[in-house]
Amino acid sequence: MKAEHTRPDFGFVRVAAAVPPLKVADLDFNLRQILAFARRADEEGAQVVVFPELSLTSYTAGDLFHQHLLLDQAVESLLEIAEASAGLRPLLIVGFPLAAEGNLFNTAAVISAGTIHGLVPKTYIPGYKEYYEERWFAASRDLVAREVTIGNRRVPIGTDLLFRAREVPNLVIGVEICEDLWGPLPPSSFQVLHGAHLIANLSASNELVGKADYRRSLVAQQSARGICAYIYASCGVGESTQDVVFGGHAMVAEDGALLGESRRFARDGDLLVTDVDIEHLRLDRERTTSFGDSVHAFPAMAWRTVDVDVPPYAGPPLRRVVDPTPFIPTDDAERNRRTEEVISIQTSGLATRLSHSGIDHLVVGLSGGLDSTLALLVAVRAFDALDLPRTQIFAFTMPGFGTSSRTRGNAERLAHACGVSLETIDITDGCLQQFRDIGHDRAVQDVTFENVQARYRTMILMNKANQLRALVLGTGDLSEIALGWNTFNGDHMSHYNVNAGVPKTLVRYLVGWVAAQPRFADARPVLDDVLNTPISPELLPGDRPGTVFQKTEEIIGPYELHDFFLYHFARWASRPAKIQQLAEHAFAGRYDAGTIRTWLRLFVTRFFANQWKRSVMPDGPKVGSVALSPRGDWRMPSDAEVALWLQDLA
């Protein structure tokens, strides 16, 4: 029976950061704009909408904040928003000035379903450089009351408020205002430790050269430290330009990643809508043990939780970018930096292993395929770093029944271009002898036929390593390890596997990147041909001798899909039904839902069935956020049942 989806939204919450066009001290105009943007957000399915700091009055009202005409009208406008919210779905978070206890407080109001649920005053009041807020506003610490009267209703107020959605499981919202984020101890740091997964920041941050980059960094880093989603909405061009200019910068970040940002300096304002993944955040918090430990680093605080009305998630379709290649950054500069770092990690790991062992010779099986090519390139870099002659890298081509002339030729040309030692050992006769020894008919080209070749090649490499006092360099990549697409005690085994943390899609990119480096200019033609050669184990002979007959992706499916599945399954512990939805969004127009489901079922089945191989995999460096070493990130029983995960896709 198919498992019931208790969380059909898969943890997604649709949020919006609104930057409406405003006018200084024109509350009627501002009210209309706020409600117009609230309706737009409603139409787009937003569940939470954050408006800028003091958006009802404008931030730059100056000494007009001491005019009670303005303050009284702000309260009236707030009540109108509350009344209008009865006909709107989203939770609205709006900034306004509140007069209370003989002070004025820069405040955020949390509103939905016709109710003002709570008020959060600003904690840190800037009074430096171009900021004069201390002239008008008191800090939250100056507030004594826990409730104030708005209209005819008592409303909770304080920085100790968290807002919990009644109808959206696990959605808890914290609120801070502008400068609060700039302080060394932002209120949101305490809010997340006490359960908030979503932080709203109502801001008024003026534009200076380079300041937008700094804001991005602050928002992204706070979302990373707090393992939270962070909505930031700053006021726009309608503010006074007497001394400064405001650009209307809005952003949404999640766990260190910027999901989206607004158009700055937009005269008609902007509305940024995206989906955040609360389920991802919960998972990261659960397994990041230091996150929970942080609660004990500060004095205990008493928190009040206010239940608020937030509508259920309206999607799909998803309103967020889902990267189809999660292991390869889309930004060119970041991709180049990441590539250099990955190869440097591989190189350093191998160099350290060689140095520590006192061994200065290396043995590698060179097939002419992507994985062994990358392993050889890393080996060359490691030997160069250790000032060892490249001739002490011994590459072996071991042609068998399915070896093509193309891959064999590429292996030979690559070894020559890299200046390493090369030897060819034909495994055909040795495998035929093993068939005779075990009584296997060579005409039966089954798994025995294939694995005898794989294990015989590994035996040769191990024996050669003894003979040469060398280490055997592993070549199998992370994708093959996940799928179990390797032969136990065959290509599964080595002394050190530099590719253990590198998925196939990244292997391909790394080889291409190395091919473009000047130091490997002599190898560029052969590397380009390796990149254009179909991925194949080359264990079965085809109808045309010397050609690539077996094509891996026709047998087990596209690696770009499997790497996508692996990332979301291992990095985020996403259930298969959620991975299916994400993949349909990421690969829209390239793979239909049925194709994705077919290969996802195969991925899940093979992943569970091949854990026993991963449990005894050799050492190798972790290079990214996903690794499957039993001594590192991944500990899974070899006899775990797959039924529940397959039912999720039924």
Model pLDDT for residues 537-550, shown as the tens digit of each residue: 999 987 666 567 78
Task: Report the pLDDT value the prediction gives residue 316, as an integer from 0 to 100.
Answer: 83
Residues 269, 263: Cα–Cα separation, whole Å: 8
Residues 281, 198: Cα–Cα separation, whole Å: 10
Give phi and psi for 443, each to the nearest 5: -75, -20
Calculate the CA dihedral of residues 373, 374, 375, 376 and round it to 10 degrees.
50
Task: Report the pLDDT value the prediction gives residue 21, as an integer from 0 to 100.
Answer: 97
Rounded percentage of the chain residues whose pLDDT exceeds 90: 91
Task: Report the pLDDT value the prediction gives residue 6, as an integer from 0 to 100.
Answer: 45
Residues 185, 250: Cα–Cα separation, whole Å: 22
Segment 567-573 mean pLDDT: 97
Check: CB of residue 564 under 8 Å from CB of residue 583: yes
Name the DSSP letter for residue 71: H
Q: Is the pLDDT of residue 245 over 80?
A: yes
Query: Per-residue b/e over 531-560, b at no fewer than 16 CB within 10 Å?
Result: eebbbbbbbbbeeeebebbbebbeebbbbb
- Please state the domain extents for the chain: 12-308, 332-647
pLDDT-derived band at 4, boundaries 50, 70, 90: very low
Check: CB of residue 404 under 8 Å from CB of residue 547: yes
Residues 66, 148: Cα–Cα separation, whole Å: 19
Our answer to whether residue 53 is catalytic in this structure is yes
Nearest to 468 by CA among 408, 429, 420, 400: 420
Q: At what angle do helices 405-418 and 524-531 cross, to 10 degrees?
A: 150
* Residue 477 neighbours by CB under 8 Å, 6+ apart: 371, 499, 500, 502, 503, 504, 507
pLDDT in tens, 280-337: 999 999 999 888 887 776 666 789 999 999 999 988 899 999 999 999 998 889 999 9
**Paired tokens of 173:** 């919202």
Task: Report the pLDDT value the prediction gives residue 295, as an integer from 0 to 100.
Answer: 76
Segment 10-29 mean pLDDT: 97
Q: Which of 176, 178, 228, 418 is catalytic?
A: 178
The pairing of strands 48-50 and 91-100 is parallel
pLDDT in tens, 376-428: 999 999 999 999 999 999 999 999 999 999 999 999 999 999 999 999 999 99
Residues 376, 616: Cα–Cα separation, whole Å: 24
Q: Is the pLDDT of residue 632 over 90?
A: no
Check: CB of residue 485 under 8 Å from CB of residue 563: no
Q: Which of 4, 23, 83, 122 is catalytic?
A: 122
Is domain 332-647 annotated with CATH 3.40.50.620?
yes
Q: Is the pLDDT of residue 3 over 50?
A: no
Q: Is the pLDDT of residue 7 over 50?
A: no
Task: Report the pLDDT value the prediction gives residue 298, as an integer from 0 to 100.
Answer: 65
Segment 41-45 mean pLDDT: 97
Task: Report the pLDDT value the prediction gives residue 544, as an integer from 0 to 100.
Answer: 66
Q: Is the pLDDT of residue 240 over 60?
A: yes
Residues 333, 317: Cα–Cα separation, whole Å: 30
**Paired tokens of 311:** 């509508």
Segment 122-143 mean pLDDT: 95
Task: Report the pLDDT value the prediction gives residue 297, as an integer from 0 to 100.
Answer: 67
Task: Report the pLDDT value the prediction gives residue 59, as an integer from 0 to 100.
Answer: 97
Segment 234-260 mean pLDDT: 96
Task: Report the pLDDT value the prediction gives residue 300, as an integer from 0 to 100.
Answer: 67
pLDDT-derived band at 140, boundaries 50, 70, 90: very high
Q: Which residue matches tokens 């704009």?
A: 33
Task: Report the pLDDT value the prediction gives residue 37, as an integer from 0 to 100.
Answer: 98
Our answer to whether residue 341 is catalytic in this structure is no
pLDDT in tens, 178-212: 999 999 999 999 999 999 999 999 999 999 999 99
Q: Is the pLDDT of residue 114 over 90?
A: yes
CATH of 12-308, one of 1.10.10.60, 3.40.50.150, 3.60.110.10, 3.20.20.140: 3.60.110.10
- Entry field: residues in the chain: 650
Q: Which of 53, 207, 538, 560 is catalytic?
A: 53
* HEC profile of 318-367: CCCCCCCCCCCCCCHHHHHHHHHHHHHHHHHHHHHHHHHHCCCCEEEECC
Question: What's the whole-number average pLDDT of the chain?
Answer: 95
Count the alpha carbons within 13 Å of 80 in the hemisphere toward its beta carbon: 16
Our answer to whether residue 480 is catalytic in this structure is no
With H, G, I as helix, E, B as strand and everything else as coil, classify residue 140: helix
Task: Report the pLDDT value the prediction gives residue 8, as an integer from 0 to 100.
Answer: 62
Task: Report the pLDDT value the prediction gives residue 542, as an integer from 0 to 100.
Answer: 74
Segment 124-152 mean pLDDT: 95
Residues 516, 509: Cα–Cα separation, whole Å: 11
Segment 490-499 mean pLDDT: 97
pLDDT in tens, 593-611: 999 999 999 999 999 999 9
